[in-house]
Amino acid sequence: MGVEDADSEARFITSWVCKVPPGKMALTGDVEIEGVFQHLEEILSRRRKREPLQLILGRWEFFGRDFFLEPGVLVPRQETEVLLEVSLQRLRVFGEKKLTGLDVGSGSGVICVTLLAEMDNLQMLAVDVAEKAVQVTEKNARHYGLSNRLRIYRGDFRVTAGWENMVFDFIVANPPYLSKEELVTAMPEVRDHEPQEALVGGETGTEHIEDLVWFSGDRLVPGGFLFFEFGYDQKERVVEIIEGDGRFEKCEIIRDLARIPRVAIARKRRTAGGETG
Ligand SMILES: C[S@@+](CC[C@H](N)C(=O)[O-])C[C@H]1O[C@@H](n2cnc3c(N)ncnc32)[C@H](O)[C@@H]1O
């Protein structure tokens, strides 16, 4: 398997080491080349080993903001921007009302940090099993001055250690959703360089989602929202899990830019008292 879209990546790397924006390379005459070749060689030698470019550069853009990345966290995916758009659209309906949210499996923090940066009325808790994810989420939240509205815990979300009694107006997640078999056939950048616990959702891929839905049924306030991303072929199973749970209204499925069903929205049934919205 060769590197996907190698030409445009080569152009991107060249502009990165020359510190010239990609769109301006053709218009730029003289470029300061002190150290450029050494930097280029460092990047290329890691890239030859199929390390993802985003991890080599140590930062990447997501939803219009730059995020620090380090080996040990998932590289943010473009599909996840759909999850952000959908979540923001639904949460903005509540206007200025103070809302408390949970980001399950925060990774680099792209989801919780973006939501907090976009909406002043949110407080969030982020949880991840990986120590590196907790560190990188903290770093990104600090960079954007959002630490005062974010608490971060390391651990399995199902255990809730340290936040046993909390309930949420919304829960958002980009859960691991590959099957074990899919990981074996994934591109080397993914298979060999991204953490398995960030990718594999169980034997069939949807086991983690089953736990997330069950957990959210307990932890959402009546009328609270669960938003999550899922795999390209998991729509039927996702609908079955949510509707089979019985605590949610009919679930909604949103497609990504490639028209692939990608995001689920499940609203917890409203019962008398204490509801959101
Ligand atoms: C697909 S990644 C998503 C990362 C980030 N939210 C994003 O969209 O780029 C899933 C994340 O869930 C974390 N994770 C996996 N199992 C978990 C569990 N049982 N409890 C908490 N976090 C978990 C992984 O460490 C990983 O950071």
Range of the domain at 37: 6-49
What average pLDDT score do residues 10-30 get? 78
Domain count, the chain: 2
Examine residue 274 and state whether it is found in any structural domain, yes or no: no
C-alpha 202 to ligand 1 mean position (Å): 13
Task: Judge if 158 and 85 occupy the same domain.
Answer: yes
Residue 214 in domain: yes
Whether the CB of 256 sits within 6 Å of ligand 1 = no
Nearest-5° angle of CA 34, CA 37, CA 38? 95
Read off the pLDDT of residues 68-104 as tens digits, 9 standing for 90 and up: 999 999 999 999 999 999 999 999 999 999 999 999 9
For the Cβ of 174 lying below 6 angstroms from any atom of ligand 1, the answer is yes
Same domain (yes/no): 17, 154: no
> How many residues are present in the chain?
277
Q: Are residues 103 and 160 in the same domain?
A: yes
Residue 1 falls within a domain, yes or no?
no
Residue 55: inside a domain, yes or no? no
Q: Mark whether 145 and 200 lie in a shared domain.
A: yes
45 and 181, same domain (yes or no): no
Cα separation, 249 vs 270, in Å, equals 9
Task: Kindly state whether residues 33 and 100 are assigned to the same domain.
Answer: no
Ligand 1 centroid from CA 177, angstroms: 10
74 CB near ligand 1 (under 6 Å): yes
- For residue 95, what is the domain's CATH number? 3.40.50.150
Asked, for residue 24, whether it belongs to a domain, the answer is yes
Whole-number Å distance, alpha carbon 49 to ligand 1 midpoint, is 25
Asked whether residue 136 falls in the same domain as residue 242, the answer is: yes
199 touches 178 (CB < 8 A): yes
pLDDT tens digit sequence for 91-144: 999 999 999 999 999 999 999 999 999 999 999 999 999 999 999 999 999 999
| Mean pLDDT of the chain, nearest integer | 93
Atom of ligand 1 nearest to the CA of 211: 19
Residue 34, domain member (yes or no): yes
Cα(178) to ligand 1 centroid in Å equals: 12
Atom of ligand 1 nearest to the CA of 156: 20
Interior angle at CA 44, CA 2 and CA 34, nearest 5: 150
Q: Whose CA is nearest to atom 8 of ligand 1?
A: 174
In this prediction, residue 168 carries a pLDDT of 98
Copy the structure tokens of residue 201: 């959702």
Where residue 276 falls among pLDDT bands split at 50, 70, 90?
A: low
Residue nearest (by alpha carbon) to ligand 1 atom 19: 156
Residue 274 has pLDDT above 50, yes or no: no
So what's the pLDDT on residue 120? 98
44 and 122 housed in the same domain: no
> What digits encode the pLDDT tens for the residues 241-264?
999 999 999 899 999 999 999 999
Same domain, yes or no, for 43 and 115?
no
Kindly state whether residue 175 falls inside one of the protein's structural domains. Answer: yes
Q: Residue 211: CB within 6 Å of ligand 1?
A: no
Answer yes or no: is 273 within a domain: no
Residues 76 and 193 in one domain: yes
Do 91 and 194 sit in the same domain of this protein? Answer: yes
Q: By alpha-carbon position, which residue is closest to atom 9 of ligand 1?
A: 76
Nearest CA owner, ligand 1 atom 18: 156
pLDDT value for 74: 97
Contact 197 CB / ligand 1 (< 6 Å)? yes
Together in a domain, 77 and 41: no
Cβ of 245 below 6 Å from ligand 1: no
